[in-house]
Amino acid sequence: MVRDMAEKVLLAELTRTQSLLQEAGKLAAGIVIVMGFQLLDARALMDSSSPWAKKACYLSFIVLGVALWQAFCGMQSKGYTSYPQGNTLWDKLKPETVSEADAEEALVQMLLKTRDQNARLNDAKVRVLYWCRWLLFVGILMLVGSQLLDAFVTGMTE
């Protein structure tokens, strides 16, 4: 029964990992789309008579670039562990001196350690994606601000 529970918590953590990887991919795609829209208007903003609009455009591009880098960091899956491959576990528990109870305990310990390691990595990934979302939000605000500032300055000079 303990082994079944350990397997369930490990599976839940692996499911959480997949969810976070998908979220990071979606964030990266969204950031690329926003950056693409920004690049479409970059020439108009660079020709703007407002130095503040130009600075806001540069800053938003930098912020979005950092957000994209964070999203790619969130897509990394290094360090995660899963069930041992091949006969690794069997070779460890195979000797006749290991009782069935000891083998069961070793298996549960392995599952729990694996789950703990994956949970730590997932918690770090959650923090990275949290900041990625905030950077995306700030980048969008800066992009909209640069557009509004350019429109305001252009409207005043006409």
Report yes or no: 122 and 19 within 8 Å, Cβ to Cβ. no
Between the alpha carbon of residue 127 and those of residues 49, 54, 70, 83, 131, the distances in Å are: 39, 31, 10, 26, 6
Distance between CA atoms of residues 63 and 46, nearest Å:
17
Residue boundaries of the structural domains of the chain: 6-157
* Backbone torsion region of residue 86, taken as left when φ is above 0, otherwise alpha when ψ lies between -120 and 50, otherwise beta: left
Q: Nearest Cα to 31, choosing from 68, 73, 4?
A: 68
pLDDT of residue 3: 66
Report yes or no: 111 and 8 within 8 Å, Cβ to Cβ. no
Q: How confident is the model at residue 141 (pLDDT cuts 50, 70, 90)?
A: very high
pLDDT of residue 62: 92
Mean pLDDT over 135-142 rounds to: 92
What is the per-residue pLDDT across 2-37, written as a single tens digit (0 to 9) for each? Answer: 667 777 777 787 888 888 889 999 999 999 999 988
Residue type, 27: L
